Amino acid sequence: MKKAIVLFLIISMSLILPNFSLAQSKTEILIRNATVLTAVKGNLENTDILIQNGKIAKIGKNLKAAANAQIIDATGKFVSPGIIDAHSHTMLDAINEGSFSVTSMTQIQDVLDPTDISIYRALAGGVTTGNLLHGSANPIGGQNSTVKFKWGKPVGDYLVNDAPPGIKFALGENVKRSNFPPQPGQPTRYPRTRMGTMEVIRDAFIRAREYKQSWDDFKNGKTKVQPRTDVELQPIVEILEGKRLVHAHGYRSDEHLNLLRLAEEFGVRIATLQHGLEAYKIAPEIAKHGAGVSIFVDFWSYKLEAYDTIPHNAYILWKNGVNVSINSDSDERMRRLNIDAAKVMRYGGVPEEEALKMITLNPAKQLGIDKRTGSIEVGKDADLVIWTAHPFSIYSRVETTFIDGEIFFDRTKDAQMRVEMQKERENLEKMEVNRAPGSGGTQPRVPSERRKADRDDAEDGDGGNQ
C-alpha cells in the first residue's frame, strides 16, 4: 500500500516537474551547440551556454552541467542577448498626465499593468527589457520605470531595482499641444512654441536649484521653518545632481541641440535623445555632449516633424561615435526590433555586431543596466533568446526567451498552452455564471486610460501623447 502511494507520488511529481521547471526553476540550464551572438565578442559557433542562478555561468564548447540540469539542444539555432526596447509605453494604465507642463511628480511605477497581453507578445519577439516612459505631452514628464518582462510574476518582480532612475522630457509639437486643442473649460497651456518649451525647462531647473537651496539652508540652520517636500521638484533636483537620467523626446535637430546646450549650462548630461529623427544633422554635437540617441529605425512622414528623418540616421550617429539604440514606442513594432536592427546594415553599412548592439548592449548602456544585461558574457543576467535562424534573417523566429535564466516564452509551451486554454474555455463557458443570457450584473472593469496599439503620437485616452 505504502509503495503504491510512493509510486503515485513519483509519477505525479514527474508529471508536474517538466512543466514546473520550464517556468519556475532556478536549476541549471545548458543551451547546447548554438551559434552565439555575444554582441561584444563576435559570433561563436557550436557553442554552449551554461545558466546558473539566473546568470550566465559559462560560455564554451562541450560544457558540463549538473545531472538535474535542463538541457536545450540548440543545434542549428542562434542565441542572442535579450532585446531591450529603450522606449515603450506597454503595460501602463495611464501614459500622460497632460494637465501641467511639468509633471515630474508622476511615476510610471504607479500605473504598471502586469496583465497586459502585450508583454507576452513582446517576449515572443525576443524582448526581455523595456524602458517604460511617460508620454510626451509635457516639456518635463513623469519618472520612468526600467522593467524586465517577467510575464506571470507579481509586478514587483518586473522592476530592475538597480537601474538608475530616469525621467521623460519632451520637445516639439506634442508639448506645444499643436494637435491637441484645449477641451471646453480647459485653458490654453503654456508653452505654445519651442521658445516657451525651453523656458519651461529652464524655469524648472532654476526652481529645483532654489528648492534645493532652501533645504540646504534649513539643514544648515539658516532657516527655522522646514521647507515643503515637493514631489515635483525633488526629481528635478536629482537631475541636477546627475542622479536621474533624462530621456528627452524630440524630433527636430535644433530643439534637441538647444536642450543639450541648456543642460550643459546646468552641468547636466542628457542620457538619451529619444526619437531624434533629425539627430543625424547634429551627430558631432551629440557625440561631444555624450548623449545617447534612441531612434525609430526608419519610421517617418507620419507628421511634419517626422518628414526629415532618414533610415541612415543610425549609421551617421554610429559613425560619429554616438551610442545608438533602436526602439519601438509601440506594442506592435516591439515584436520585430530584430528586423529593424537588420535594416541599419543596409542603410549606410553598419557592421552586424554593431547593429545587434543597437537593440541589446547600447540600450542597456542608455538605461544604465549594461553591467547586468545587454550582451552574452559570463556573469551577466541570463537574458537570452533562442532563434531558429540569425535574428537578422527575415525567416527567423523566436523559439525561447529567457529572463534571469527563467523561460518566459517558449514556442512549444505556447502550443501546449493553446490547447489548455481551449479546454479551460470550454469548462468556463459551461458554468452558469458565464451562460447567456444573463440577468444583469457587472462586467469586469479594466482601469486603463489608454488606447491599445500605440506609437509616439497616437492620441491617448487622456488627451495626450505618448
Which residue stretch of 37-45, 72-80, 87-95, 162-170 sits at the interface with another protein (rule: CB under 8 A)?
87-95
Which residue stretch of 53-61, 114-122, 200-208, 209-217 sits at the interface with another protein (rule: CB under 8 A)?
114-122
# residues contacting another protein (CB under 8 A): 114
Of these, 339, 353, 370, 413, which contacts another protein (CB under 8 A)? Answer: 339
Smallest gap from Cβ 329 to another protein, in A, equals 14
Of these, 45, 110, 217, 241, which contacts another protein (CB under 8 A)? Answer: 110
Smallest gap from Cβ 231 to another protein, in A, equals 5
Of these, 69, 345, 368, 377, which contacts another protein (CB under 8 A)? Answer: 345
Site for another protein in 186-245 (CB under 8 A): 186, 224-226, 228-232
Give bridge partners of residue 385 from the DSSP assignment: 80, 401
SS3 302: coil
DSSP 348: T
Of these, 54, 164, 196, 461, which contacts another protein (CB under 8 A)? Answer: 461
Smallest gap from Cβ 151 to another protein, in A, equals 11
Residue 364 CA to chain centroid, in angstroms? 10
- Which grid coordinates are listed for 12? 505525479
Site for another protein in 130-189 (CB under 8 A): 134, 142, 154-155, 173, 178-179, 183-186
Q: For strand 406-410 and strand 398-403, is the pairing parallel, antiparallel, or unpaired?
A: antiparallel
Q: Of 40 and 159, which CB lies nearer to another protein in the complex structure?
A: 159
Which residue stretch of 49-57, 80-88, 259-267, 445-453 sits at the interface with another protein (rule: CB under 8 A)?
445-453
Of these, 107, 207, 214, 370, which contacts another protein (CB under 8 A)? Answer: 107
x/- map, 243-282, another protein, by CB under 8 A: -------------------------------------xx-
CA-CA distance, 105 to 372, in Å (whole number)?
28
Q: Of 54 and 461, which CB lies nearer to another protein in the complex structure?
A: 461
Smallest gap from Cβ 274 to another protein, in A, equals 18
Residue 434 near another protein by CB under 8 A: yes
Please tell me the number of Cα atoms within 13 Å of 42 on its side-chain side. Answer: 3
CA-CA distance, 433 to 442, in Å (whole number)?
11
Let me know: does 65 contact 71? Beta carbons within 8 Å.
yes
Site for another protein in 371-410 (CB under 8 A): 388, 392-397
Residue 238 CA to chain centroid, in angstroms? 22
Q: For strand 145-148 and strand 78-81, is the pairing parallel, antiparallel, or unpaired?
A: unpaired
Q: Of 135 and 363, which CB lies nearer to another protein in the complex structure?
A: 135
Please tell me the number of Cα atoms within 13 Å of 447 on its side-chain side. Answer: 5
270 Cβ contact partners less than 8 Å away, ≥ 6 residues apart: 169, 246, 248, 259, 260, 263, 289, 291
Smallest gap from Cβ 111 to another protein, in A, equals 5
The owner of cell 520637445 is 171
Which residue stretch of 57-65, 214-222, 238-246, 345-353 sits at the interface with another protein (rule: CB under 8 A)?
345-353
What phi and psi values does residue 60 have, to the nearest 5 degrees?
175, -170
Residue type, 313: N
The owner of cell 511617460 is 134
CA-CA distance, 298 to 466, in Å (whole number)?
19
- Which grid coordinates are listed for 317? 550617429
Residue type, 221: G
Residue 69 near another protein by CB under 8 A: no
183 Cβ contact partners less than 8 Å away, ≥ 6 residues apart: 463
Which residue stretch of 7-15, 263-271, 315-323, 368-376 sits at the interface with another protein (rule: CB under 8 A)?
315-323
Of these, 69, 120, 353, 413, which contacts another protein (CB under 8 A)? Answer: 120
Let me know: does 283 contact 314? Beta carbons within 8 Å.
no
